[in-house]
Amino acid sequence: MTKYSTCLGGLVLAFSLLAPTNDVWAAQKKLLEVTDTLPVVLEADGIEFDEVNHLATARGHAVVRYTDLVFRADRVTLDSETNVIRAFASVGKKIKVQRQNADTLAGDFLEYHLNDSTGYLEGAEGSSKVPYGAVYIKGARVEVADPQTAHEKKWLRGKYLRGSAPDSAVVRWNSASYTTCKQDHPHYLLRSKKIVMVPGKYIVLHHPRVYAGSAYLFTMPFNMVVNQKPKAKNVVTIMPNYDSDKHLGLEARSTFSWDAGQLALGAGIWQEGMFEYQARVDQQVAPWLSLYAGDNHQYDSNTDETKSRPFWGAALARSGWAMDIGWAQREKRSVIRKPGQKEYETTLWRDPEVELTSPWVGLHIGDFSQYARFKGNWGRFQETGVNRKGYQGDFIERYGWGIDYYTEYPFRLGAWTVSPFFKGDYWNYGYKNDGSDRQIVTIGTLGIRASCGGFEIGSAFEQKRVSGRSAFGNGWDRNYDTDTFYQRVGVKIGPSLTFAVQGVFDLTGNKNELSSMGYILTYDNSCCTRWELTVNDDLTDSNNNDWITLSFAITAFPDSRFKIGNENLSNPFGRPGGLAVRRQRYEPTLMEKDGTEQAENAEIAMPEFDV
């Protein structure tokens, strides 16, 4: 391998040779007379320099390095007068182009102009990183330009180029296809006459045509913008939805972000004539502190009214500690009192509520792990629209402390991965009212998860014990003794298809009945899309809690998920929220992933911004 460090046409070229020849030494002497700015580094098995035509030709494993770009080809030429790089691929091979941010391109012929950082690539294909994976693009021709040139050529609007470094490269694909599926024959793709990529920021598809496999579906009447940053912004998402009270509806959502904050907007119109909207603004004022405020203009089936429900507060997080201080007026609160039962819905005022969680503390002995954390809660609450014995709708101060505990011991048993676990959840609440009520709630869940190939099974017994009573009577924070057994079985019935069944047994008191059955059909092709159909069949006579939900997501973009229906199956098989377990030696089962996701959604969390 022979290595060159060159500045052609105002760049320095210095040759480092393993076996230099007289011609090469002559070329080095000639080119070292020219000095200027940043070098182009060239490596190859052999290099020739034509002084008459000012042309350097590298052959065999040629590599060119310039700023954050790397070109790899069988043959590369560098013109010292025009400062043009040309790369050629042999039959059956491709030129490789890579940036430091891991964007990659491949093609048959490359021409790149060093003076203005413009160029093109014929027969191009490539990939670019997105938050949870990569996108794959193929096109007949790719052009490259700096942001100013791209704007002057009207490749895309200036707002997408704002903040780009002057020497960065904007890539335009002509007659290209786009997908997040890396297979040779992708499950879906989008075709567009023009795709423009601002590396590390945006990919803009102009009026793309949508295909399922090779079948054309429709053409989008607008441009599609893909945000390569961890959090999408300034993109409107429109999706259908269904609610048992409001029936069919259409919802639109969008997020507008700036360096240390964001504004989230949403609106929905429903078959029954209701119009709803949501708005929330978050502003980070310190690395550990974020302020928020918003309004949920929502329908309440209990009162048959649509009202404004404002809220505001602050979220704090530092070194594993998390706190939320929040005020709310007419907040809709849904509580699941017993597994499998329909939610208890009410209207709550918080003035304010303070929630606190400590970091998890772990103790590990071999593969045996156990974790614990402290939690606290204080607030003044008012439940409106009720007048029951012991509570007439006044504000009552409640305070409480608790402990979360989790332990698991995963091990291998032949071809099986087995993971026994135990979860403990303790709350001790006190109330400042005339009766000085107190309510102590203890929940213990003992279970086991096991998997072998495409088969998984889980069993869990959850016991809740309550002593004392709530100052709100039979209200929003009232708990009851329950004994519940969960049995879940899942099996892979195809390359991308999994079917699971979950039974919930009510064993409270003298009961011994199957209260509900849940059915989950999941399509996940492990490369681009995930569909999930969930059906809950309520087997009790009085609960009337039958429902169906359907969700869809593009794997590379978790924020793209949309869901028809808002319900979820009770799932005791996940880890507690906020718990970052040490590196697992096994692949988590689907039941564990789903249960953990539910627990994470209930945690105190600082908003994430594009800082």
Return the pLDDT at 328. Answer: 94
pLDDT band at 597 (very low <50, low <70, confident <90, very high): confident
Residues 77, 107, single domain; the answer is no
Indicate the SS3 state at residue 312. strand
Backbone φ/ψ region at 101: left (φ over 0), alpha (ψ -120 to 50), beta:
alpha
Residue 267 lies in a domain: no
Average pLDDT estimate for 522-536: 82
pLDDT band at 232 (very low <50, low <70, confident <90, very high): very low
Indicate the SS3 state at residue 572. coil
Residue 22 has pLDDT above 50, yes or no: no
Q: Is residue 395 within a helix (H) or strand (E), and if so which, with residue range?
A: none
Residues 445, 512, single domain; the answer is yes
Average pLDDT estimate for 343-363: 89
Residue 424 lies in a domain: yes
CA-to-CA distance for 602 and 578, rounded, in angstroms? 9
Residues 200, 333, single domain; the answer is no
Return the pLDDT at 535. Answer: 94
pTM, two decimal places: 0.70
Residues 500, 398, single domain; the answer is yes
Return the pLDDT at 405. Answer: 96
Out of 34-48, 291-305, 417-431, 592-606, least confident range: 34-48
Of the chain, the end-to-end C-alpha distance in Å amounts to: 43
Question: Of the ranges 50-64, 68-82, 483-497, 574-588, which is most confident?
Answer: 483-497
Residues 17, 72, single domain; the answer is yes
CA-to-CA distance for 86 and 111, rounded, in angstroms? 5
Average pLDDT estimate for 355-384: 90
Residues 458, 482, single domain; the answer is yes
Return the pLDDT at 611. Answer: 31
How many other C-beta atoms lie within 10 A of the C-beta of residue 526? 10
Question: Of the ranges 3-7, 160-164, 495-499, which is most confident?
Answer: 495-499
Closest of 427, 410, 428, 431 to residue 419, by C-alpha: 410
Residue 398 has pLDDT above 90, yes or no: yes
How many other C-beta atoms lie within 10 A of the C-beta of residue 338? 19
Residues 74, 106, single domain; the answer is no
Q: Nearest 5°: CA angle at 201, between 197 and 204? A: 40
Closest of 541, 543, 520 to residue 593, by C-alpha: 520
pLDDT band at 384 (very low <50, low <70, confident <90, very high): confident
Q: What is the CATH number of the domain that holds 206?
A: 2.60.450
Residues 473, 527, single domain; the answer is yes
CB 254 within 8 A of CB 237: yes
Average pLDDT estimate for 367-381: 92
Return the pLDDT at 6. Answer: 39
Average pLDDT estimate for 412-434: 92
Return the pLDDT at 371. Answer: 93
The number of folded domains in the chain is: 3
Let me know how many helices (H) and strands (E) the chain has, helices first: 3, 40
Residue at which a domain ends, from 178, 205, 229: 229
Residue 261 lies in a domain: no
Beta bridge partners of 442: 426, 465
Residues 349, 477, single domain; the answer is yes
CA-to-CA distance for 15 and 43, rounded, in angstroms? 10
CA-to-CA distance for 500 and 497, rounded, in angstroms? 10
Q: Is residue 124 within a helix (H) or strand (E), and if so which, with residue range?
A: strand 118-130
CA-to-CA distance for 234 and 430, rounded, in angstroms? 45
Residues 74, 123, single domain; the answer is no
Of residues 402 and 102, more confidence is placed in 402
Residue 254 lies in a domain: no
Return the pLDDT at 35. Answer: 31
Of residues 526 and 36, more confidence is placed in 526
Considering just the CA atoms, what is the radius of gyration of the chain in Å? Answer: 31
Return the pLDDT at 527. Answer: 67
The chain-wide mean pLDDT, for the chain, equals 81
pLDDT band at 34 (very low <50, low <70, confident <90, very high): very low
CA-to-CA distance for 361 and 320, rounded, in angstroms? 10
Beta bridge partners of 8: none
CA-to-CA distance for 313 and 283, rounded, in angstroms? 11
Beta bridge partners of 482: 464
Residue 65 has pLDDT above 70, yes or no: yes
Closest of 234, 244, 302 to residue 270, by C-alpha: 244
Phi, psi (rounded to 5 degrees) for 64: -115, 130
Residue at which a domain ends, from 88, 122, 147: 88
CA-to-CA distance for 478 and 471, rounded, in angstroms? 9
Residue 240 lies in a domain: no
Out of 30-34, 364-368, 400-404, 553-557, least confident range: 30-34
Residue 208 lies in a domain: yes
CA-to-CA distance for 111 and 134, rounded, in angstroms? 26
Residue 401 has pLDDT above 90, yes or no: yes
Residue 102 has pLDDT above 60, yes or no: no
Residues 341, 489, single domain; the answer is yes
pLDDT band at 33 (very low <50, low <70, confident <90, very high): very low
Return the pLDDT at 546. Answer: 87
Residue 126 lies in a domain: yes
Residue 18 has pLDDT above 60, yes or no: no
Average pLDDT estimate for 437-459: 94
pLDDT band at 418 (very low <50, low <70, confident <90, very high): very high
Question: Which 8-state DSSP code applies to residue 160?
Answer: G
Indicate the SS3 state at residue 396. strand
User: How large a percentage of the chain has pLDDT more than 70?
Assistant: 84
Q: Which residues constitute the domain of residue 544?
A: 314-601
The residues, ordered by sequence, that sit 6+ positions from 215 with a Cβ below 8 Å of its Cβ are none
Return the pLDDT at 393. Answer: 74
Residue 187 lies in a domain: yes
Per residue in 255-280, pLDDT (tens digit) is 887 778 888 888 988 887 888 999 99
Beta strands in 319-359 (DSSP E): 321-335, 344-357
Indicate the SS3 state at residue 571. coil
Return the pLDDT at 234. Answer: 53
pLDDT band at 379 (very low <50, low <70, confident <90, very high): very high
Return the pLDDT at 106. Answer: 85
Out of 117-121, 125-129, 374-378, least confident range: 125-129
Residues 486, 513, single domain; the answer is yes
Phi, psi (rounded to 5 degrees) for 529: -130, 155
Question: Of the ranges 230-244, 422-436, 519-533, which is most confident?
Answer: 422-436
Residue at which a domain ends, from 209, 229, 249: 229
pLDDT band at 211 (very low <50, low <70, confident <90, very high): confident
Closest of 149, 74, 73 to residue 113, by C-alpha: 149
Return the pLDDT at 156. Answer: 79
Return the pLDDT at 9. Answer: 35
pLDDT band at 504 (very low <50, low <70, confident <90, very high): very high
Indicate the SS3 state at residue 23. helix
